[in-house]
């Protein structure tokens, strides 16, 4: 007969332990189908527990179908209840999590782009607004809402985008998404079938490249220069479903697209009967002059505008949005509904009030001062320690690109830099056409303090000097 011991020091109840021991014995075939078990009294006596403990465990196993009770005969293991179990599952799961979780120790100075200063998130004001919203809302507001998002946020956002970014739209053209990533995924799914062509700026963020590739689209790389995408290099013989561009502060090289190229882009899209997807991820933060208005404002029916609050506020706030031409709204709404029903409505309402009360404008003004100082520190340190350094891109956003003519940022060099406690990101990682940006790295400063930036550049200098000496 199958016997086992119990751990009386465990937090698990004795009933649960008895249940699990018998269940696992059945699943692993230590108890075979049709085998008769001890009576509840016999088993209780054998393992040293009260009969009620065993009774409760048997009742649970009978309810789940593991055991059969035969009148005047006894309790037996039910047929079809055993299963070949992966005995090392816990180990496999643990290994998988460790392998797939990018863990960057606090000792590293990580110049990752796109990370905002989370320590400056307006927790107090956000918390008080959340409390107000929860107190003020009628009961029906806690139920399911429309897939396109809360009307309160879409209405406020339409006015905000017109004032700040020159986006021309009606609230009905705005659909709230779980970040810009979901917006771009849905756009791709809506417009592109497998094998369809997408014209993409090159280099471009690896997340966007992954989204397009996952959909099975064929990517046509379009080179950029210091002023952004070069329209003359767009495909002439093929018709892309859309052109993806980041015109206000190109990632990673940081250029701003001039009006002449914006006009060329729109004329190309009209001629090819395709759309322009405009990603506007951090244009609120401009440190010289004023932000350039959106391309969408030039042609609302040809441009799909995508934005997010992950960079302005915090990535944990999974709220992005897409502004659509009228002809795409109906199909996009359906697709959004089937994807996640709707984005968290309570957070949308808090954000709507946060914008309406002017708190977002104040937060952006405050963060511009902080990011301007951090960028100034980074540029100053780079020029101090690397006299031949060339800073690329406009003074905007939360990252810059530095070109060091005498350095090739291979994976070996990047690893050497990491050994000094610094993480930087070569532009080559974002390139579709390789070999054109080997001496450039992306350096984000949004989440780093002034002191961390200074220390990081000093360590970078030491790492590159050691690398240079080792090659001599």
Low-confidence ranges of the chain (pLDDT < 50): 89, 91-92, 95-96, 98-101
CATH number of the CATH domain containing 177: 3.40.640.10
- State yes or no: cis peptide before 203, omega within 30 of 0: yes
Distance (Å, whole) CA 82 – CA 459:
59
Structure tokens at 167: 């986006």
Same structural domain for residues 309 and 319? yes
* Angle, vertex CA 422, rays to CA 418 and CA 426, nearest 5: 75
Same structural domain for residues 257 and 170? yes
Same structural domain for residues 347 and 380? no
pLDDT at 105: 55
Same structural domain for residues 396 and 295? no
- Name the domain boundary from 360, 390, 422: 360
| Strand blocks (E) in 382-434 | 390-392, 399-403, 422-423, 425-426
What residues contact residue 230 under an 8 Å CB cut-off, 6+ apart? 222, 223, 224, 261
Same structural domain for residues 246 and 391? no
- Name the domain boundary from 332, 360, 388: 360
Same structural domain for residues 369 and 445? yes
Same structural domain for residues 198 and 297? yes
Cβ–Cβ < 8 Å for 114, 428: no
Q: How many domains does the chain have?
A: 3
Query: How many C-beta atoms surround the C-beta of residue 60 within 10 A?
Result: 17
Structural domain including 55 reads 1-101
pLDDT at 372: 94
* Angle, vertex CA 214, rays to CA 344 and CA 334, nearest 5: 40
Same structural domain for residues 137 and 284? yes
Q: pLDDT tens digits for 14-30?
A: 999 999 999 989 888 88
CATH number of the CATH domain containing 404: 3.90.1150.10
pLDDT at 1: 60
Same structural domain for residues 280 and 319? yes
What is the pTM for the complete model shown?
0.82
CATH number of the CATH domain containing 57: 1.10.10.10
Distance (Å, whole) CA 3 – CA 355:
65
Structure tokens at 202: 């090159």
Same structural domain for residues 348 and 212? yes
Same structural domain for residues 250 and 324? yes
Same structural domain for residues 354 and 419? no
């Amino acid at each position: 007969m199958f016997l086992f011991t119990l751990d009386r020091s465990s937090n698990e109840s004795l009933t649960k332990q008895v249940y699990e021991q018998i269940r696992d014995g059945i699943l692993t075939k230590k108890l075979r189908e049709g085998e008769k078990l001890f009576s509840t009294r016999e088993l209780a006596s054998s393992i040293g527990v009260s009969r009620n403990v065993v009774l409760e465990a048997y009742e649970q196993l009978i309810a789940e179908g593991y055991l059969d009770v035969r009148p005047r005969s006894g309790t037996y293991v039910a047929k079809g209840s055993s299963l070949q179990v992966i005995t090392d599952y816990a180990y496999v799961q643990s290994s998988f999590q460790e392998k797939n979780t990018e863990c960057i120790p606090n000792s590293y100075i990580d110049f990752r782009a796109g990370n905002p200063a989370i320590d400056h998130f307006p927790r107090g004001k956000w918390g008080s607004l959340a409390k107000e919203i929860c107190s003020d809302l009628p009961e029906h507001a806690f139920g399911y809402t429309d897939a396109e998002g809360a009307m309160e946020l879409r209405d406020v956002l339409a006015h905000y985008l017109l004032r700040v970014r020159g986006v021309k739209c009606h609230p009905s053209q705005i659909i709230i998404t779980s970040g810009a990533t979901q917006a771009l995924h849905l756009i791709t799914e809506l417009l592109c079938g497998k094998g369809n062509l997408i014209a993409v700026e090159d280099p471009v963020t690896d997340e966007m490249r992954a989204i397009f590739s996952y959909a099975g689209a064929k990517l046509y790389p379009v080179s950029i220069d210091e002023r952004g995408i070069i329209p003359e290099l767009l495909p002439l013989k093929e018709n892309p479903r859309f052109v993806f561009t980041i015109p206000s502060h190109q990632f990673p090289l940081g250029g701003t697209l001039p009006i002449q190229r914006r006009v060329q882009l729109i004329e190309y899209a009209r001629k090819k009967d395709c759309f322009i997807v405009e990603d506007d991820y951090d244009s609120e933060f401009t440190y010289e002059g004023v932000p350039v208005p959106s391309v969408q404002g030039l042609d609302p029916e040809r441009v799909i505008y995508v934005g997010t609050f992950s960079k302005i506020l915090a990535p944990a706030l999974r709220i992005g949005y897409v502004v659509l031409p009228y002809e795409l709204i109906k199909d996009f709404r359906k697709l959004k509904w089937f994807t996640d029903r709707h984005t968290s409505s309570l957070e949308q309402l808090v954000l709507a009030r946060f914008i309406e009360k002017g708190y977002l404008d104040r937060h952006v003004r405050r963060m511009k001062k902080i990011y301007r100082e951090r960028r100034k520190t980074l540029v100053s340190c780079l020029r101090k320690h690397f006299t031949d350094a060339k800073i690329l891109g406009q003074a905007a956003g939360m990252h810059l690109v530095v070109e060091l003519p005498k350095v090739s940022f291979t994976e070996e060099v990047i690893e050497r830099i990491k050994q000094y406690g610094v993480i930087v990101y070569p532009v080559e990682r974002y390139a579709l056409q390789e070999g054109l940006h080997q001496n450039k790295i992306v350096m984000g400063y949004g989440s780093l303090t002034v002191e961390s930036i200074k220390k990081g550049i000093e360590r970078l200098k030491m790492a590159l000097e050691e690398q240079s000496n080792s090659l001599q």
